[in-house]
Homo-oligomer: A and B are copies of this chain.
Amino acid sequence: MEYRKIKDEDNDGGTLSNDIENLRGIGFSGVASVSNVPQREQAKWKRKTVVTVALTFLTSSQAILIVWSKRAGKYEYSVTTANFLVETLKCALSLAALARIWKSEGVTEDNRLSTTLDEVIVYPIPALLYLVKNLLQYYIFAYVDAPGYQILKNLNIISTGVLYRIILKKKLSDIQWAAFILLCAGCTTAQLNSRSDHVLQTSLPGWIMAIVMALLSGFAGVYTEAIIKKRPSRNINVQNFWLYIFGMAFNAIAILIQDFDAVMNKGFFHGYSIITTLMILNHALSGIAVSMVMKYADNIVKVYSTSVAMLLTAVVSVFLFGFNLTLAFFLGATVVSVSVYLHSAGKLQR
């Protein structure tokens, strides 16, 4: 479960966007030819769908790997080295993608790796936000138990929606806001179990920490979208490279602080197994998928995607691990499904 937090770290920081991408898209197709407009729109929609579906499947297989690794026994690998490898792998994959593009298209203003201080200065901010959030994570368990924390994490949904509205200044319709509240309620309902009611006894400091953590996580996500969308024509692989390079740096520092002795005595890869390797691979790919969703869709799509992944995971676990689905799960899944429908039915007319 602890491993899960790695996934969060593939988002890093930036400034405001305001649909620059949309404007450019329209501009380009206007210059080219009128008949290209629907084709371009279709291509954009297709790309958005592909990255969203990829994120959904990667996130749910991620959760299944976590269950699998728990069932297989405890692995004594160092979480910080695994996090570092995830960032490194993401960096390597971005560079590989760039190399292919350079070969076919040549180096241009948009896909060159070199950057300006003005562009790169905001990139470490989300990584820093996650660092603070992960630090808080150790303290919150003094106030909330693990199942309670799992429930409180759904506050992320609300904080992402609110910060998306405030920071990116994007509007959701009233129906879409209603859908977003339902998404949060539905996800929480689907996760209810006999011990969930403990969470109502959470003390004030516990609530405050949970809300602060939700805000940090939501802020990091929204900030990443702002960074990536600020330069819509910039190649996503270059943007990813810079996001992940700071991820590597922060995780290297974490290894030095937390696990230096263990790594020195037992080795960097101590306790790694085939499942650990699969998890690292999965986290790297879903990290890249998150970046793609930020580039071609938005944080709202990301939240829906990971919520649907949570439901998929539960259904798949029935077949893989013989889990039982509860009535609460069916009710929560119904509410989430209606929420997905309402989000699309409630689209603002532009």
Interface residues of A (CB under 8 A from B): 151, 174-175, 178, 181-182, 185-186, 188-189, 192, 194, 196-197, 199-200, 325-328, 330-332, 334-335, 338, 341-342, 345-346
Contacts and interface: CB of A to CB of B under 8 A. Distances in A.
A23 to B, nearest CB: 30
B345 A178 contact: yes
A196 B327 contact: yes
Contacts of A338: 178, 181-182, 185
Given A175-B345, A342-B175, A345-B174, A328 B182 contact: no
A182 B189 CA distance: 13
Contacts of A200: 325-327, 330
Contacts of A182: 182, 335, 338
Contacts of A328: 189, 192, 196, 328
Contacts of A185: 331, 334-335, 338
A327 B346 CA distance: 28
Q: Which of A185, A330, A342 has the most CB of B within 10 A?
A: A185
Contacts of A178: 338, 341-342, 345
Contacts of A330: 200
Contacts of A346: 175
Given A178-B342, A185-B331, A200-B330, 6 more contacts: A175-B346, A182-B182, A185-B334, A185-B335, A189-B332, A200-B327
Contact of A181 (B151, B199, B326, B334): B334
Contacts of A341: 178
Contacts of A334: 181, 185
Contacts of A194: 194
Nearest to A326: B197
A189 B178 CA distance: 18
27 contacts: A175-B175, A175-B342, A175-B346, A178-B338, A178-B342, A178-B345, A181-B334, A181-B338, A182-B338, A185-B331, A185-B335, A186-B335, A188-B327, A189-B331, A189-B332, A189-B335, A192-B192, A192-B327, A192-B328, A192-B331, A194-B194, A196-B328, A197-B326, A197-B327, A199-B327, A200-B326, A200-B327
A326 B185 CA distance: 14
A341 B346 CA distance: 14
A162 B181 CA distance: 26
A89 to B, nearest CB: 38
A214 B310 CA distance: 32
A84 B200 CA distance: 45
Nearest to A333: B185
List of 9 A-B pairs having minimum Cβ-Cβ separation, nearest first:
A185-B334, A189-B331, A185-B331, A178-B338, A196-B327, A197-B327, A185-B335, A197-B326, A189-B189
Nearest to A178: B338
Contacts of A174: 345
Contacts of A331: 185, 188-189, 192
A151 B326 CA distance: 13
Q: Which of A199, A330, A335 has the most CB of B within 10 A?
A: A335
A342 to B, nearest CB: 6
Nearest to A200: B327
